[in-house]
Structure 1
């Protein structure tokens, strides 16, 4: 029986793809003029900011992250958009007793800001961000911490996300995983990582939890 749903945030509950890509382009064009395109930035969706900046500019991570965060925070509210029926589905899940958690590679403060824009701050029992863990997804640590704080067993939870890191983190923690077909990289990309479920619409979760 499913008692808890763990969600990635960016690209899963809130459409932050344009925000993230525009922010990377702003930072990268300043440091590496003309070397990156928006398409190149797709591979940066999912990994932690620290990991990505370490790969792009070793030794300059702190400065690059600071520039990223400055632009990202300034333009956050204007560039994010909502996916259909996310909040209404979360409300229905909450009403039938499902525990809800966020497991993200974002800082906790930015998760809170995104939830505020989404109008869903009141719906989540637990939020795990980078401030809570030493190891981010696909490491199982954040998923296991969420399960512990929710007080549920592994067989009672599903990890849901739009990226390989989400599916792998769920599996590495010993729980089932679901991909979302609205992922920027597409459902075919996610199917490579063998999620137990593929959500074509947020409301699919209602059928999944009712089926047990």
Structure 2
């Protein structure tokens, strides 16, 4: 087996956007529903496409709620976003070793690119598939397949890393090795039920897993 292509989720995997997402939802529900919600309540829909969540929560004001959410994110992006430990170093190393890297995210491309640029990561990724590239989203395999097609790869040559059940299922549905990060904001019982191939405790461990797979 030879791994050549590495697909990363963005939110919660490479970048810590948890507080940004949670505060954005809380602000939106406060504005449109006069409703206070807990962090745990919001975590239940983590990884889901924004429109799907807000269509369920704000049936009568979906477009307005989406606009409120996105405006809050734009205004508070730099204040609330951070990068997970080891991400920049490992991503740079993988790129320099010749691996082809992609971001597969449920975030809009413009917003995802802003996050990558904020931490000077954008040049390491050959491809990015965002929410505006397809109307079929994780856990559907389409976004992962689109990324591989854009890079000229096959599922057998790839591994996909994420932090939610949506990421694990997307990889599995596409026939790609799945890995979940233990720094996910979700409790392990939420994602372990989907039986990812690997659980990684650090970005350095991801490198070890890829090297192990390439020795098989």
Do the two structures share a fold, i.e. TM-score over 0.5?
A: yes
- Give the corresponding residue for 1:14: 15
Partner of 1:208: 209
Asked if the contact 2:138–2:170 (Cα under 8 Å) also holds between the matched residues in 1, the reply is yes
Deviation, structure 1 residue 61: 1.4
Contact 2:164 2:180 survives alignment (8 Å) = yes
Shift of 1:35: 4.2
SS in 1 for 2:132: helix
Determine helix, strand or coil for the equivalent of 2:44.
Answer: helix
Is 1:73 the equivalent of 2:74? Answer: yes
Q: Distance in 1 between matches of 2:111 and 2:36?
A: 28
TM-score where L is the length of structure 1? 0.96
Q: Does 1:100 align with 2:101?
A: yes
Deviation at 1:53, TM superposition (A): 0.4
Aligned to 2:134: 133
Give the unaligned 5+ runs of structure 1.
Answer: none
Which residue of structure 2 lines up, in the alignment, with residue 155 of structure 1? Answer: 156
Is the partner of 2:31 in helix, strand or coil? Answer: helix
State the partner residue of 1:39.
40
CA apart distance, 1:32: 2.3
Contact preservation (8 Å) 1:180, 1:187: no
What secondary structure sits across from 1:39 in the alignment?
A: helix
Report what 1:142 is aligned to.
143
Could you tell me how far apart the structure 2 residues matched to 1:169 and 1:205 are?
19
Counterpart Cα distance in 2 of 1:159 and 1:55: 28
Per-residue CA deviations over 1:69-115 (Å, capped at 9, x if unaligned) read 00111000110111111010001111111110000011100011000
C-alpha change, 1:34 and 1:130, in structure 2 (3 Å) is closer
Structure-2 change in CA distance of 1:116 and 1:19 (3 Å): same
Q: When the two structures are aligned, how many residues end up with a matched partner? A: 212
After superposition, what is the alpha-carbon deviation per residue over 1:154-181, rounded to whole angstroms, capped at 9, x for unaligned?
1110111000000000111111110000
* C-alpha separation in 2, matches of 1:60 and 1:149: 36
Q: How does 1:161-172 map to 2 (within 5 A)?
A: 161-172=162-173
Q: Secondary structure at the match of 1:127?
A: strand
What is the aligned-residue RMSD (CA, Å)?
1.1
Matched, 1:111 2:112: yes
| Alignment partner, residue 48 of structure 1 | 49
Deviations 1:30-86 (A, max 9, x none): 222244222211113110001100110224211110000001110001101111110
